[in-house]
Amino acid sequence: MWTARRPSHRGNFKLHQCIYCLTWKPLASFSKEHVVQASMIGKTREPLVLRANDGIVCLACNQAFDRAFDRKLARDTPEGFSRVYEGLIGAEEFKTFGKKSSVRAEVKAGKLAGKQVWVSPQPMPSQFALHEIVEPCLRFTSGDVIRDYQPDAVLSHQQLRADGIDLRDGDKVELIGIEYELVAERLRGLGFEGPSGAPYPPEPFRMSAEVFFGVPPELLRCYAKIVFNYLAYVHGKRTALLDVFDDARAFILHGTQRAFPIVAPMQPLVLRRGQQEVRSIWLSVEHANGHVVGQVCFYGRIRWRVTLAAAPRILLHRVGHIYDLERWCVELTEEPPSPFFGEAVPGRRPAALTRSSGQA
């Protein structure tokens, strides 16, 4: 049997229970919690918020979430990059999680084939700045071929030609993090009187590359927290305190993985007004197939389904909200996308948006 925790009164103070750590605390120990982080929703008016005066999320848990994953979501992630692509911030305002982006990639083809790079977003969608991660080396360039060698490598004409360096006129050698005096004799033996070409780093150039993002465990906790926040917002604190959600609570707060929640990627769902895509964030939660299931979809690019618990005897009506980042408002939708709806359907629009846009 599932039970809800009840209010407690001690002395003259009414204590409230946090929906995450389940600790009883005075109201002064609680803080405002955005259902979706403020950094992801730009200038949205009247966003969905769990109010401090309602005693829902305590300050200690809020601060723990910020340190563990909230700030990371807005930075070195597909969602963080999308903030630039959707115009929520400029490329020059983008902040990495540390001095350099933690998004790493290996270039598979082209001039930098085989090189390790770190990645940052550019203003145009699907464009990245690739910054090479280099160690001290001798860099030989012959046409479109680039080869790096350790400072103490024994080099010969035969080895360089086997690696695609023809030692023709116009070939270049660059010293990256190496003093010329340490390698001068070897370079002269190969026909180079000194380092040639532009100093490192080289001038920017354009190329095609595929970048694959990994999803660390802390981001799965972040997606689960957003959906659980939304559950508390639309169905109330008493529902969120039911012990059936204890597994989800443990995962969000401590990363302890039990039977639930189950966080899975889904096909993105693009919101359209007429023929034009609308920048938006979807949220929904419902009781489906004996489970409490929610979803969050960022900007029509990244969509996650979160199964919070198996709860065959809990009945929750299906509800959804849209952050419309074109009009900077939040709308309740009468037709939220199902968490099991795997592909975007052309022309499918929630009723609230249909009315506001005046389209049938």
pLDDT higher at 239 or 314: 239
Decide if pLDDT at 357 tops 90: no
> What is the amino acid identity at position 305?
R
If you ran DSSP here, which 8-state letter would residue 130 be given? E
Percent of the chain with pLDDT over 90: 28
pLDDT at residue 55 in the model: 94
Tens-digit pLDDT profile for residues 264-308:
888 887 777 777 778 889 899 998 888 999 999 998 888 999 999
Decide if pLDDT at 250 tops 50: yes
Return d(Cα 228, Cα 243) in angstroms, integer.
13
Domain boundaries, the chain: 8-68+215-357, 78-131, 135-189
pLDDT bucket at 337, cuts 50 / 70 / 90: low
Mean pLDDT of 90-103: 73
The owner of tokens 């040639």 is: 196
Q: How many residues does the chain have?
A: 360
pLDDT bucket at 82, cuts 50 / 70 / 90: confident
Percent of the chain with pLDDT over 70: 75
Tens-digit pLDDT profile for residues 165-175:
776 666 777 77
What's the mean per-residue pLDDT of the chain?
78
Strand, helix or coil for residue 61? helix
Decide if pLDDT at 341 tops 80: no
pLDDT at residue 1 in the model: 41
Instruction: Find the range with the poorest average confidence among 30-39, 57-66, 275-284, 348-357.
Output: 348-357
Return d(Cα 68, Cα 97) in angstroms, integer.
12
Return d(Cα 74, Cα 78) in angstroms, integer.
9
pLDDT at residue 342 in the model: 46
| Residue ranges with strand state E in the chain | 8-10, 13-17, 24-26, 33-34, 49-50, 104-106, 116-121, 128-132, 137-142, 145-149, 172-176, 262-266, 272-273, 276-277, 280-288, 291-298, 302-310, 319-324, 329-333
pLDDT at residue 183 in the model: 74
pLDDT at residue 296 in the model: 93
pLDDT at residue 5 in the model: 53
Mean pLDDT of 102-114: 70
